[in-house]
Copies of this chain bind each other. A is one copy, B any other.
Amino acid sequence: MAQKQLLKDFIPNLSVNCVVFGFESGKLNVVLIERKMHYWGKIYHDLELPGELVRRDEDLNSSACRVLKELTGLDNIYLKQFEAFGSPQRLKRRKRDLTWLKFVGHPEQTVVTIAYYSLINIDQGKISKYKLHPNVRWMQVSEVQELAYDHNDILTNALAVLRAELLLKPIAYELLPKKFTLGQLQNLYEVILGKSLDKRNFRKKIAKLPYIIPTAEIQANVAHKPAQFYTFNNKAYARMHKEALESAVV
């Protein structure tokens, strides 16, 4: 965590962490940071969620944006605060974490972290930009092992929030390229929710949504019947959402 700037510019007890999800070739991935350290004479490689201490002059959201920007070079990314983690022991549950804190000269105080989850789409070859920092890793959520500190808890809760929001808000489209097929969309729902869905019922449901717009474009160079591309129309969504709110009854 931020050792480059002057320590006094930061609130020593407050950090943000970002759980950055992305969907690529049918898998849900997450951005992790490699932490290399010497520990009892050996070199350990270890992973943690991206995060930093919060600056005194910035908003929490700006802080999370800053972390993402420094990490991936991207802004205008879907970003949502979901939980604060504040156990006094959260940084010190393992010997390895204590060693690391000493190694980087961390004051070893309680650090409460405000956790965000973030959705990116791996569109238009942007993926290369995520390699900006040499220790950024892009890993399948299902293959994540033991992370630093309480970061497994943070990831688990982020996933739970992602699942819940997927059913309530149009966030699937943050994870997909601008033009997507219904197969991709269904696959995304299946992967995140962890269950398979009926293709015909799924497509009927989508067909009723006024904000999923079919395009004239069609897949090319696929070894099966080529699929039609669709787009998400945010204005149509906002309109529908507004109407739904106004007429809502339990």
Contact = CB atoms under 8 A, between A and B. Distances in A.
A66 to B, nearest CB: 13
Nearest to A168: B164
A249 B195 contact: yes
A161 to B, nearest CB: 12
A135 interface: no
B88 A57 contact: yes
Given A59-B87, A88-B58, A88-B59, A11 B250 contact: no
A231 interface: no
A59 B85 CA distance: 9
Nearest to A166: B250
Contacts of A240: none
Nearest to A114: B84
Contact of A81 (B63, B83, B248): B83
A13 interface: yes
Contact of A86 (B54, B83, B167): B54
A193 B110 contact: no
Interface string A34-61: 0000000000000000000010111110
A53 B69 CA distance: 31
B250 A112 contact: no
Most buried by B among A58, A112, A167: A112
Given A11-B13, A249-B195, A250-B197, A86 B60 contact: yes
A80 to B, nearest CB: 11
Contacts of A57: 88, 110
A57 B86 CA distance: 10
A14 interface: yes
A60 B89 CA distance: 12
Interface in A185-203: 189, 193, 195, 197
Interface string A62-101: 0100000000000000000101101110000000000000
A109 interface: yes
A130 to B, nearest CB: 27
Contact of A114 (B11, B86, B249, B250): B86
Contacts of A110: 11, 56-57
Question: Shortest 3 CB-CB distances between A and B: which pairs?
Answer: A60-B86, A11-B13, A84-B114
